Structure 1
């Protein structure tokens, strides 16, 4: 059993480390592109598009991780997060080669929100699995979502909105499918947002309580 646990732990460390590297690459490439090209976003997708699609698709493994129980995350919560992003990368960015989708400020907003979030999340998880706790990462993990969740969702909705006319040209049902997903965003965002707020109180509140207890013991 101990050997099995060590294998699972090693796999999760490798998965989180690889995901961190992938998202760091996307973040760095995005920032470098913006610094070099400013508001000219015509080549942004060429710079980051397919790495973004592949790295985000790899996150589908997280649904499997939660289903088989090697992580404690709720399968439904993970599925909601992964599904919406896969819809964006495959159902919008991959399908539609139009500047209003692949060269838009919405794409920049979405990618920056995603990549910053994931760089912190995956580095925090990888280090925690190795027994290394970095409070700064823990704090950022459970604080940045206040800004990055709404920013990412705004980018996602704007991307899907831009895709609607092109989806209708392929098949009206495709447009209806995207619209249905857009309508579903507010309740899903509320569920994920409140989940993170509860997690923040649980995790950061627990850290604060532990620190206070330790300080009290020292005084005694």
Structure 2
């Protein structure tokens, strides 16, 4: 049974979609958390148990990723699932798929020392795909559709995180491709250390909406 008896009005900011959510098509997500002291939480989701923690320097025990690190990992895995499913539906061959997140969070928000948004204010999601497909229109449309239906990307986009989604399509798989592309893009490493994509698309869904 759904925890909601009715579907709420869609937020005005969500204008990229032409239909409202339907209760009969909705599923319920559940997660249980138990505080285990020193900022640590033991979490249970279905039959999985895992720990969220904080580093020693802020009073945690450093026995698991932080909640925001789990969020970053969830975004990576969410778009991976979407790409995998969409590629199967559209018969797009995937030879390699990697993702990497770089996000900036003003720690003063959580600390309560400044009235700033406590979550990420800059967020870069790098997606590196190796595929034999070379038609640029096909790949741009694929990227736009994947962004449009990805729950995590849409959450970030509507939360004022400054989300930038960068798609890099490469001819050959490369170890740590997404990480190397990200680090080169922000100046952490030299550009020659990163793979050379044959196509790069940024914020594909937004670009498609503008051109439509």
The verdict on a shared fold, with TM-score over 0.5 as the criterion, is no
Kindly indicate which of the two structures has a greater share of residues assigned to helix: 1
Bigger relative CO (Cα 8 Å, ≥ 6 apart):
1
Kindly indicate which of the two structures has a greater share of residues assigned to strand: 2
Alignment TM-score, normalising by the size of structure 1? 0.28
